[in-house]
Structure 1
């Protein structure tokens, strides 16, 4: 995380915002003490549509073997 003084942050705010948009976090200091942090905003997670999830899962075929059996089979088949 890069540190910038408050005076420099005022003078170069647009540049700092562009860096934050690019994913960088910037610590703003006053007299060497951290007072603020400029971070990118993460997009909100999309809510799961239950009807859409049911439609997808109802259309798939159920597994005939357990996950453990499947992993053992994949491991043992690849070994020899």
Structure 2
């Protein structure tokens, strides 16, 4: 995900599509971990992955909500800070 400079209607749709695609991917990965535990990987590593994906999903949901309701430059800056944090988690 890239930082947001402006958030007009077209930009908002693009950002929401990108967020939804990331959410879909993270949810699939989390589902895979939960439904198909890997016998070769330790439980600690599995828990770490699960925790990381859950955090990323929660963060993406928060960004999505902020993008939907965003109407000021200050909110765009807050969204950009969350995007930076999300990128640091990946």
The reply to whether TM is greater than 0.5 is: no
**Higher RCO (CA < 8 A, seq sep 6+):** 2
Choose 1 or 2 for highest CA Rg: 1
Greater percentage in helix? 2
Question: Which band: TM-score by shorter chain?
Answer: under 0.3
Greater percentage in strand? 1
TM-score by length of 1: 0.28
